[in-house]
Amino acid sequence: MSAETPVCQLLERQDADYRGWWWVAPPRDAWLEGGEGRLISADLAVRQAWQARGREAVSPFVEDSSLQGPGAVLFWPKAHALGEWWLLWLCANLPEGTLLQLIGEHQGGIKRVLKVLAALGLGCRKVDSARRCTLFETRTARLALPPEAVWTQFTAEGIAEGLTLASHPGVFGHGKLDEGTLLLLEQLPAQLPAGEVLDMGCGDGILAAWMAREGRDVTAVDVSTFAVEATRRTLRANELAGEVLESDVYSALKGETAQEGKRFDAIISNPPFHLERAIDYGPAARLIQQAPEHLKPGGRLVLVANAFLPYAEPLERAFGGFEVLADNGRFRVYAATRR
Q: What is the pLDDT of residue 277?
A: 47
Q: Which residues contact 84 (CB under 8 A, 6 or more apart)?
A: 116, 150, 169
Using CA atoms, how far apart are residues 243 and 273, in angstroms rounded to an integer? 24
Residue 274 has pLDDT above 60, yes or no: no
> SS3 for 197?
strand
List of domains in the chain: 6-147 (3.40.50.150), 151-337 (3.40.50.150)
- pLDDT tens for residues 73-98? 999 998 899 999 999 999 999 999 99
Q: What is the pLDDT of residue 260?
A: 59
Using CA atoms, how far apart are residues 234 and 165, in angstroms rounded to an integer? 5
Residue 256 has pLDDT above 60, yes or no: no
- pLDDT tens for residues 23-37? 999 999 999 999 889
Q: What is the pLDDT of residue 112?
A: 92
Instruction: Report pTM.
Output: 0.93
How would you class 74 by CB atoms within 10 Å of its CB: exposed for 0-12, middle for 13-18, buried for 19 or more? buried
104-118, 201-215, 261-275: range with lowest mean pLDDT = 261-275
23-37, 66-80, 128-142, 270-284: range with lowest mean pLDDT = 270-284
Look at residues 69, 95, 82, 79 and name the one whose alpha carbon lies nearest to residue 147.
82
**Number of neighbours of residue 95 by Cβ within 10 angstroms:** 10
The mean of the pLDDT values for the chain is 92
Pick the residue with more confidence: 337 or 66?
A: 337
Mutual orientation of helices 225-237 and 206-213 as an angle, nearest 10°?
Answer: 30
**Residue range 34-50: average pLDDT?**
94
Q: What is the pLDDT of residue 174?
A: 84
